[in-house]
Amino acid sequence: MSDDRDPMGEPEAANDGADQADALRAENAALKEQVLRYAADAENIRRRAEREANDARAYAIQKFARDLLGVADNLARALAAHPAVESADPAMKNFVVGVEMTEKELMSAFERNGLKKIHPKKGDKFDPHQHQAMMELAETDVAPGAIVEVMQSGYDLLGRLVRPAMVVVAAKGAGAGAKPSGGEAASNPYAAGDADGSGGSVDTRA
């Protein structure tokens, strides 16, 4: 019997199979790249939505939070001015304790809603993004340019500055006494809204 099979058929079939395998591998790589791209896009969308939600939340409560800062300031002043509890009568002691508890609860409410106090310690480095220098003081025991005293605490709301901390800084140059910083910005390198635009600006939008 004669063999009618094409002697070249098997090599051609093998080549076709190899080509199909290469095509499938290329298609698989393209699909994998597409899936990774979609995953990256989805993650970017999620992050953007989270950021926009935080911004919307901060914008919604910013004015209300700023209005409450006056209450926090008054409570702090009341506690700083009260007489020594040890020498006060029982009624005064109870009053002071009540004020302290009220301030503590207010600070806890601030923290729960993302409003954090900015109250640097003596000797901390001046940060123009969080602090505003109200005066310079010469002959102090801290490094030149460092914070000497906090006149008023600042607050940050979810990463957005609501109010810079008002501070006294050690003078960088020679001089005696305290120099108010209410003059021209050029005479005060710490003043908010200085030449580089980085000094303790406050977002006043309601």
Please answer whether residues 126 and 145 qualify as being in contact, where contact means their C-beta atoms are separated by less than 8 angstroms: yes
In this prediction, residue 175 carries a pLDDT of 43
Give 100-153 pLDDT, tens digit per residue. 999 999 999 998 888 999 999 999 999 999 999 999 988 778 888 899 999 999
Q: Identify the pLDDT of residue 154.
A: 94
Q: Of the ranges 3-12, 27-36, 184-193, which is most confident?
A: 27-36
Helix (H) / strand (E) element for 92: namely helix 90-112
- How much is the pLDDT for 78? 87
Q: State what percent of residues in the chain have pLDDT above 70.
A: 73
Edge-to-edge, what's the strand order for the sheet holding 131-137? 147-152, 165-170, 131-137, 178-180
Domains and CATH numbers, the chain: 7-113 (3.90.20), 116-187 (2.30.22.10)
75-94: average pLDDT: 78
pLDDT in tens, 15-26: 777 778 888 888
Residue 3: pLDDT band with limits 50, 70, 90: low
For residue 203, is pLDDT > 70? no
For residue 51, is pLDDT > 80? yes
pLDDT for the residue 79: 86
- For 99-173, strand residue ranges (E) read 115-118, 131-137, 147-152, 154-157, 160-163, 165-170
Please work out, in degrees rounded to the nearest 5, the angle formed at the alpha carbon of residue 132 by the alpha carbons of 164 and 66. Answer: 20
Give residue 127's identity as a one-letter amino acid code.
D
Q: How many residues are listed for the chain in this entry?
A: 206
According to the model, what pLDDT value does residue 11 have? 61
Q: Output the average pLDDT for the chain.
A: 78
pLDDT at 167 over 50: yes
Report the share of the chain in percent with pLDDT over 90.
34
Whole-prediction pTM: 0.56
Contact indicator for 189, 179 with CB cutoff of 8 Å = no
End-to-end CA distance of the chain: 99
- The conformation of residue 141, written as its DSSP 8-state character, comes to S
Average pLDDT over residues 168-193: 56
Q: How far apart are CA 59 and CA 202, in angstroms?
A: 13
